[in-house]
Amino acid sequence: MAEILTGAPVAEAIIQSLIPRVERLKSAGVTPRLAMIRLGEVGSQLAYQHSAQRVLKRIGAEAECFALPDSTSQAELLALVEEINRRGDIQGCMILRPLPSSIDEQAVCAALAPEKDVDGITPTALGAVFTGAGSGYPPCTAQACIALLDHYGIDLAGEHVAVIGRSLVVGRPLSMLLQARDATVTLCHSRSRDLPGLCQAADILIAAAGSAGLIGREHLSPGQTVIDVGINAVRGRICGDVRFDEAEPIVRRLSPVPGGVGAVTTAVLAKHLIDAAEKALSG
């Protein structure tokens, strides 16, 4: 029977650490404020927005949501990002993605002021993650995986970690964060040959493919730690990339979906906002 690595205590520990920091900012005259930009009414984006709003409220910070129609033009969206860049009362900005296909997402991400990029979407932030130098916050989900492993005392040095998925949102920046902790990383994707073999050989397996039930007993070995990042809606229910019932009797530790990394992601977002607000205050 695997030890279940739930996200709630990890998120709670982060939230508790932020409350006194927000109090100190407020007594210095600063109420941390996150701008959230959303185009259209995508259910998963609404869920993420509400989850972030709940966490920010708990720590005493504020969220300002810019809910725009999905017909918003590139020029209108860029003008909004520039307004957020200029506003001194906003220290962080989250753009809910994917954006509609009519929008050049890369150009919009690049337009955000790097110091307000609390979700690692600008070239500056990603550059910092990839070079290990400079300033910038890593993408929240990638950072949340590291926070979860740290919380449960799982040492990464020398461990072989297989990451499934190479997107700039999760897999690729995560592989860099893991390497920065001296893990040996195998980055798998849809063209990888022998995915079961690559996964079975790993000490730690992190699944971020967005493919419901992709990982089952043929990918697993005893003693492994498995972190499921996938969020997939199947017949109205949320499930991960890992077949929980098959994994649970085999592996040593298992982080589930729902109830795992997802809860940690918004707590990490809040932490990045508070880091940015403190930096802005200290000039």
Q: Applying CB under 6 A, which residues contact ligand NAP?
A: 141, 164-167, 169-171, 188-192, 195, 208-211, 214, 229-232, 261-262, 265
Least distance between ligand NAP and beta carbon 30 (Å): 27
Question: Exposed, middle or buried by CB within 10 Å (0-12, 13-18, 19+), for 135?
Answer: exposed
Nearer to ligand NAP, 36 or 164 (CB): 164
Question: In this complex, which beta carbon is closest to ligand NAP, that of residue 175 or of residue 265?
Answer: 265
Contact status, residue 139 vs residue 97, Cβ threshold 8 Å: no
Give the C-alpha separation, 153 to 147, whole Å: 10
- Least distance (Å) between residue 199 CB and ligand NAP: 10
3-state secondary structure of 164: strand
Closest alpha carbon to 126 in 111, 138, 114: 138
Closest approach of ligand NAP to the CB of residue 266, in Å: 8
Closer residue to ligand NAP in complex, CB, 52/274: 52
Cα three-residue angle 147-149-153, rounded to 5 degrees: 110
- Residue number with CB closer to ligand NAP (25 or 49): 49
> Nearest approach, Cβ of 191 to ligand NAP (angstroms)?
5
Virtual torsion, Cα 267, 207, 248, 151, nearest 10 deg: -30
Judged by beta carbon, residue 40 or residue 210, the one nearer ligand NAP is 210
Min. distance of Cβ 279 from ligand NAP in angstroms?
Answer: 24
- C-alpha distances (whole Å) from 204 to each of 11, 43, 215 are 21, 31, 13
Closest approach of ligand NAP to the CB of residue 20, in Å: 26
Backbone angles phi, psi at 128, to 5 degrees: -65, -40
Q: In DSSP terms, which residues pair with 237 in a beta bridge?
A: 234
Nearer to ligand NAP, 25 or 267 (CB): 267
Q: Residue for token digits 């022998």?
A: 194
Q: Which helix (H) or strand (E) holds 127?
A: helix 123-131
